Amino acid sequence: MQHEQALVGLGANLGDAAATLRAALLELDALQGCSLLRVSGLWRSAPVDAGGPDYCNAVAELRCEHGAEELLRRMQHIESRHGRVRPQGVRNAPRTLDLDLLCFGELRLQLDRLTLPHPRMHERAFVLAPLAEIRPDWCLPDGEAIADALRRLREAGQQVQRIGPLDPRG
């Protein structure tokens, strides 16, 4: 069976966000057919295009033996178990847990419920800073080096701050 590397963005800004992200990482690692390879530190950022408290963010790298759509389905179950609600017509609402599939190997996909690579990750310092921590040599799908993209976003005013370690495995 073929295994793919998946990059997953994690975020939360309601409740004990750091504890929720740690728990979600353990749940991702426990998914049948998945294993957690790397985890960034914990990062804080202000909400983008929304109000509410600051977010805690991270990025994890997984190895998965099933497809992207199945991984997304399982990630959404984890979100639901942590109280994630998706208010109708409200984008970027505060949330207890947000899991975004950023990329899945080299797969390019455009479906109603899933676009890969993630169509807005190049616009989000809260994704790129933790991603650069675990994959500093990675390039965005358009070929831009992650360090250059992060610098561009910081110069445009997006601020993120590393606030500590996150890996729940120690």
pLDDT in tens, 1-46: 568 999 999 999 999 999 999 999 999 999 999 999 999 999 999 8
Q: For the segment 46-74, what is each residue's pLDDT rounded down to a tens digit?
A: 887 777 889 999 999 999 998 999 999 99
Question: In angstroms, what CA-CA distances link 21 with 16, 35, 83?
Answer: 9, 16, 13
Among candidate residues 22, 44, 95, 124, the one labeled active-site is 95
For 124-156, the pLDDT digits (tens) are 999 999 999 999 998 888 899 999 999 999 999
Are 99 and 79 in contact, with CB atoms under 8 Å apart? yes
Q: Is 169 labeled as catalytic in the residue annotation? A: no
Inside any domain, residue 169:
no
- Total domain count, the chain: 1
Q: Of residues 44, 74, 98, 124, which has the active-site annotation?
A: 98
pLDDT tops 70 at residue 170 = no
The reply to whether 148 belongs to the active site is no
Domain presence at residue 70:
yes
- Would residue 170 count as lying in a domain? no
Residue 73 falls in the annotated catalytic set:
no
From the list 44, 74, 84, 124, the catalytic residue is 84
CATH number of the domain that 65 lies in? 3.30.70.560
CA separation, residue 78 to residues 47, 100, 108 (Å)? 22, 12, 24
Does any domain span residue 61? yes
CA distance 60 to 131: 8
Burial label for 152, CB within 10 Å (0-12, 13-18, 19+), is: middle
User: Could you tell me if 149 and 122 are in contact, meaning their C-beta atoms sit under 8 angstroms apart?
Assistant: yes
Chain mean position to CA 80: 16
> Around Cβ 69, how many Cβ atoms within 10 Å?
15
Q: Which domain holds residue 125?
A: 4-164
The answer to whether residue 48 is domain-embedded is yes
Annotated catalytic residue within 54, 100, 152, 154? 100
Phi and psi at 61, nearest 5°, equal -110, 130
In the numeric block, the tokens 């294993």 are attached to: 35
Which stretches of the chain are DSSP H helices?
A: 17-30, 68-81, 125-134, 146-155
